[in-house]
Every structure is written in C-alpha cells, then in structure tokens.
C-alpha cells in the first residue's frame, strides 16, 4: 500500500503570484493545504518610526510609498487626519479635485488587481487590456503632479497647486470610455467557464467570520456586509455624490470580483458628478500658518521667501490631541491615528493598513483548498506588501 | 457630548470603578480604563453595544511624559451603528503586559503581535506571540522612544557635511 506523508513547502518570498515579497510556509497533504503561515516584514522600512522624526509636511511623501498602487488614497487619509487635528477647512475646488483623484486611484488600483488576479489564474489577455487603461490614470497623475506613482500632491489645507486646463477633458474622456472597457473585461471573464470554475466557491468566508477577522473594503462587501466609509462616515464631501455600494451574496472570489467591477463603474459616476461640480476657485485654504505661500510670492518678494522657508524648515505647530481618521481606500479601511504633543512633528503616527489585516484572513480562506486555489485567494484579497510591511 | 455617548453610558453602568477618564476631542470619544479590566470592557462593548469590528490595536510610548510608560489604544467600530470609540489602557514599564484581546476578536492576533514586536508589550493568553515585521532574532523594540532612529549600532545621522 502506498504511504503518504505531509510536506512543508516554501512559497515565496520571490513568487510571481504573491504580489510582492510575501513568503508563505505551506503544510501540504498531497496538493491540499492543511496550514498556511504567512511570513511578512521583508519590506519593513519603519515608516511609523521615521514619521516621529519629520515634520507633518515631510511625512506626506512617505505615505505615497505605503500602498504604491493607490498613492493618492494614502495621501488623502493622512492629510485628512492632519486637517482634523488642525481643524482647518478646505476650499470646495480642492475637495472636488481630491475626490476625482481618489476615485481615479480606486480605478487604477482595481485595474491592477483585475490584471494580476486574472493573470494569476491564467487569463493573460485581461492583463494587457487593464494596463492599457491604467496608463491613462498614470498619465493624469503625471499631468497634475509630475510623478506617475509617488504623487505627493495633496497638502494640509488643499492641494499643492491647481490642475492644468487639459485635466478636465482628459479625465472626462477617460471616465466616459471606461464603462466600455469594463464591458470588454467582463466579456473576457464574467461568463468564461474557466474563470467561473476557478472563482465560484473559492475562498469562502462568512460575514460573521469576515468581521471577526477584521476584513474591510471590497473583501468584506463580497461577503454581504453593506458598509462603506464613503457613505456611512462621509469625509472630504463624499456625501454630496450619489453612488451605489455593491454587495455580494455568496462570499466567494467570484462575488468579490463582481463587487470590485461594480465599484469601478460607480467610481466613474462619482468622477463624472465631481467634474460637473468643478468650479474655479482657490485650491488652498487661507491659513498662512499652515499653507505654503503662492510660488509667485516666493520668487518675487522677500516676505514670501521667508514664509516659505519657515514652513519648509520648521513646519507648523499642530494642536495637542489625538485623532483617528479612516478612509475607504481601494483595499479597505485605511486609518491614520496621530498623537500630537503640540509640536511640529507627530508624537506618534500609526497607520492602520487594510492589506495587513486582510491578509490575516488568508489562512481561514485557503485551508483545505488546493495550492492553485491559494493563488486565487491571494489575488482576491488584493494585498500590497508595501502597505503590509510599512 | 462624551457623557451622553451610548457606549460611555453603558460602560459607566457596568464598570464605574475602572473608568479613569472620558474625553472628547474633534468629535472622537476616548475612554481610558484600568488595564486589569480591559478584556471585560472590550467584550461588553462588543456584546452589548454592537462594536463588532476591531479596527486597530496599537500602543504609544510616553517615555518621560507619564508615570505609566505605555498606553494601549484600541479603535472599535460598530457596523450597525456606524460609530467609533477609542479605548485606552495604561501599561507600566515594570509590569509590561496586558490581557490579549484575541478571545474577543481574531483580528487582534496580528495587531497584537505587531505591538509586541515594535513596543515589547507582552499579551497574556495570545495564541502565537512572536515577532511579525522584524526578524525573529532581532534585539530591541524599534518603536520605543529610547530606540535610536538609525538603529542600535550606527552613528546618528548628522546631516550632510558638504
């Protein structure tokens, strides 16, 4: 009689389907997984420690590098937290542009998710198509901030600068054509028998289990929990927009796929409404203690130069206290918790990364399934290691 | 006001003796409790007040600023009621441990491991308390205020010389 024994297999840290440097130690019975132990920390850069030694303004570029597939969502979460501490109000134009960029970021992040998720399961064509559209978002990033990924565009009190005139047309053309592209992806996947076989019934997690383990974002909504911070704890003026929150039923990978696709269509609607609302006006609050002076003043007057130099070198004092602000990032609830001691540097800055908490569900969702299905579960959780390891 | 907050009312009914402070800042309610009763407080909030999602667990090091050096911070969210509450409990350096919240929420597992890894606070009854971001053989706890920014064995950065 044939004998079998359990095998321990090392997956990663360099493995194409682990989406970065994630190492998984698998215990296998044949091809069936009996235990998964994620090993993280390969990208730990000490962002929280570094933040304690930098001014509030200097922390902003660090946040771009958390979830590098959704830089503006991170910027938004951090800036909103600082603004909450400062208690300053942002001009309407700046808020509207922030929403446009946050939703474009959601599109971009979901496009990368769709591309890599499909590629992992073997559908390569979608990858090429999704990256084609992602390129437009990257170009928009470059247009307004000069950088394709590390945007560093928002400022406490508004934006670093106004958007160029061609911005509106570029974004409108993109969101008008996006539903057609989404139909293309759906045509390749939604009724594709291989895709259905790989995703239906894969990575099932019930709503109670999902809440208990802390899942947030599309992963939680795929399990049927109707909760979205943009609607339920509105921030940055999201309450002015009409959009649907898609919710899944079967708690599996296919439902999470559908939820994210609907989210992309809803993001387009939000951007269209925001573009209709976009009116000329200031993009930075009138608060000289916190906000940088206009570049014109910096170059042409000594007072402006001193003003700029003071903020850049010393930063601005922030009232003593502690605040938490969560935003609905593409991957789930991204939270920033800042303790201020009244100086110009955070006393403690804590980042609550959605991917870190979501990855914890991996073990529950993949134990008992095959290795190939584990790859689908990693894809459906939509993790980014830059954010997990910080 | 913080006194009228539904969770604060409930906690005052059940744990009047262990509440040290109730504060409100920028619309956020913070309740500081004694660390011995942290587990009972958290499970009461989950069972009775429907705070079903543990958003975050973290710590703050108040070296030289407060008598009790560390402060554990729990962020709770109620999906049915869409509101938040922050629970804090002080942990002294001499007795650097607290009950693990993993019995109440599975979420706490990794979040507490991270606090252990970076602050060195021990969680009692934690199923797998080991380092998570740093390597297993790492010495010291990086997020403590007395841990140097540039690492333990390196000269402090003095800025560019040229």
* DSSP characters over B67-87: SS-EEEEEEEEETTTTEEEEE
Higher pLDDT, B153 or A77: A77
Taking CA–CA distances from A364, the nearest residue in chain B reads B106
Taking CA–CA distances from A339, the nearest residue in chain B reads B60
Residue B80 counted as domain residue: yes
pLDDT digits (tens, 9 = 90+) for A175-230: 999 999 999 898 888 888 888 888 888 888 888 899 999 899 998 998 889 999 98
**Interface touch A84/B82, C-beta < 8 Å:** no
Q: Interhelix angle for A371-381 vs A253-277, to 10°?
A: 20
Residue B117 counted as domain residue: no
Q: Please, what is the Cα angle at A295 between A293 and A296, to 5 degrees?
A: 105
Summary mean pLDDT of chain B: 87
Residues 112-141 of B with CB under 8 A from A: 114, 118, 131-135
Q: Which of A36, A206, A208, A212 to mutate to test the interface with B (most CBs of B within 10 A)?
A: A212
CATH of domain A50-389: 1.10.645.10
Residue B109 to residue A356: CA distance in whole angstroms: 11
ipTM (interface pTM): 0.89
Contact criterion met (CB below 8 Å) for A390 and A247: no
Predicted confidence at residue B12, as pLDDT, reads 79
Predicted confidence at residue B1, as pLDDT, reads 63
Domain housing B77: 2-96
Residue B158 counted as domain residue: no
3-class SS of residue A284: strand
Task: Report the number of distinct structural domains present in chain B.
Answer: 1
Residue B59 counted as domain residue: yes
Q: How confident is the model at residue B13 (pLDDT cuts 50, 70, 90)?
A: confident
Token pair listed for A243: 């959009």
Residues of B in contact with A85 (CB under 8 A): 26
Region of residue A295 (phi > 0: left; psi between -120 and 50: alpha; otherwise: beta): alpha
Residue A312 to residue A55: CA distance in whole angstroms: 9
- The fraction of chain A above a pLDDT of 90, given in percent, is 38
| Residue A346 contacts B where some CB pair is shorter than 8 Å | no
Residues 40-69 of A with CB under 8 A from B: 40-41, 44, 46, 48-50, 53
- A 10 A CB-CB count for A295 gives 11
Terminal Cα-to-Cα distance of chain B (whole angstroms): 55
Contact criterion met (CB below 8 Å) for A77 and A334: yes
Residue B58 counted as domain residue: yes
Give the number of beta-carbon pairs within 8 Å between A and B.
91
3-class SS of residue A258: helix
- Averaged over B7-15, what is the pLDDT? 79
Residue B105 to residue A209: CA distance in whole angstroms: 10
**Interface touch B60/A212, C-beta < 8 Å:** no
- Averaged over A72-84, what is the pLDDT? 92
Which residues sit opposite A305 in a β-bridge? none
Mark out the alpha helices in chain A (DSSP H runs).
47-51, 56-64, 71-86, 92-121, 124-145, 167-189, 193-199, 207-213, 218-221, 229-232, 253-277, 295-300, 302-314, 354-359, 362-366, 371-381, 385-389
3-class SS of residue A306: helix
- Averaged over A319-346, what is the pLDDT? 91
Whether the model clears a pTM of 0.95, i.e. scores above it, the answer is no
pLDDT digits (tens, 9 = 90+) for B46-94: 888 889 899 999 999 998 888 888 999 999 999 988 889 999 999 988 8
Nearest to A175 by CA among A93, A275, A261: A275
Q: Which of A47, A49, A230, A245 to mutate to test the interface with B (most CBs of B within 10 A)?
A: A49
Residue B162 counted as domain residue: no
Residue A221 to residue A210: CA distance in whole angstroms: 10
Residue B7 counted as domain residue: yes
CATH number at residue B62: 3.30.460.80
| Residue A25 contacts B where some CB pair is shorter than 8 Å | no
**Interface touch B56/A323, C-beta < 8 Å:** no
Residue B40 counted as domain residue: yes
């Amino acid at each position: 009689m044939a004998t079998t024994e359990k095998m321990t297999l090392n997956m990663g840290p360099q493995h194409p389907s682990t989406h970065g440097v994630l190492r998984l130690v698998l215990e296998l019975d044949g091809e069936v997984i009996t235990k998964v132990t994620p090993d993280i920390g390969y990208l730990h850069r000490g962002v929280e420690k570094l933040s304690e030694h930098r001014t509030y303004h200097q922390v902003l570029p660090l946040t771009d590098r958390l979830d590098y597939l959704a830089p503006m969502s991170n910027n938004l979460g951090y800036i909103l937290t600082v603004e909450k501490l400062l208690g300053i109000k942002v001009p309407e134009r700046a808020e509207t542009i922030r929403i446009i960029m946050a939703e474009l970021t959601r599109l971009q992040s979901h496009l990368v998710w769709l591309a890599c998720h499909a590629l992992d399961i073997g559908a390569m064509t979608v990858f090429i198509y999704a990256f084609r559209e992602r390129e437009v978002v990257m170009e928009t990033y470059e247009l307004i901030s000069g950088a394709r990924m590390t945007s560093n565009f928002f400022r406490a009190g508004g934006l670093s600068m106004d958007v160029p005139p061609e911005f509106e047309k570029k974004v409108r053309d993109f969101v008008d054509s996006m539903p057609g592209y989404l139909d293309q992806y759906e045509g390749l996947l939604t009724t594709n028998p291989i895709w259905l076989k790989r995703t239906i019934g894969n990575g099932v997690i019930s709503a109670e289990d999902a809440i208990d383990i802390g899942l947030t974002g599309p992963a939680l909504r795929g399990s049927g929990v109707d909760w979205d911070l943009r609607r339920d704890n509105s921030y940055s003026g999201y309450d002015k927009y009409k959009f649907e929150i898609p919710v899944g039923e079967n708690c599996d990978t296919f439902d999470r796929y559908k939820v994210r696709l609907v989210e992309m269509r809803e993001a387009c609607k939000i951007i269209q409404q925001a573009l209709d609302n976009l009116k000329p006006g200031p993009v930075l609050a009138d608060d000289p203690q916190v906000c940088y002076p206009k570049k014109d003043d910096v170059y042409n007057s000594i007072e402006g130069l001193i003003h700029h130099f003071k903020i850049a070198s010393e930063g601005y004092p922030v009232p003593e206290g502690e605040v938490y602000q969560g935003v609905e990032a593409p991957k789930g609830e991204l939270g920033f918790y800042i303790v201020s001691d009244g100086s110009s540097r955070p006393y403690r800055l804590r980042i609550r990364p959605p991917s870190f908490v979501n990855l914890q569900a991996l073990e529950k969702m993949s134990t008992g399934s095959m290795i190939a299905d584990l790859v689908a579960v990693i894809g459906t959780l939509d993790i980014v290691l830059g954010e997990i390891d910080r | 006001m913080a006194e009228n907050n539904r969770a604060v009312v409930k906690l005052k009914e059940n744990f009047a003796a262990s509440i040290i402070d109730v504060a409100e800042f920028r619309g956020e309610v913070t309740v500081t409790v004694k660390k011995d009763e942290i587990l009972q407080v958290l499970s009461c909030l989950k069972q009775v007040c429907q705070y079903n999602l543990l958003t975050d667990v973290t710590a703050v090091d108040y070296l030289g600023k407060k008598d009790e050096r560390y402060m554990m911070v729990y962020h709770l969210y109620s999906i049915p009621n869409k509101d938040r509450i922050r629970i804090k409990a002080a942990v002294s350096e001499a007795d650097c441990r607290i009950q693990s919240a993993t019995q109440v929420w599975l979420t706490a597992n990794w979040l507490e491991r991270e606090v252990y890894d970076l602050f060195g606070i021990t969680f009692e009854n934690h199923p797998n308390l080991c380092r998570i971001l740093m390597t297993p053989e790492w010495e010291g706890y990086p997020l403590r205020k007395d841990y140097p920014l540039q690492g333990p064995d390196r000269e402090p950065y003095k800025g560019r010389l040229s």
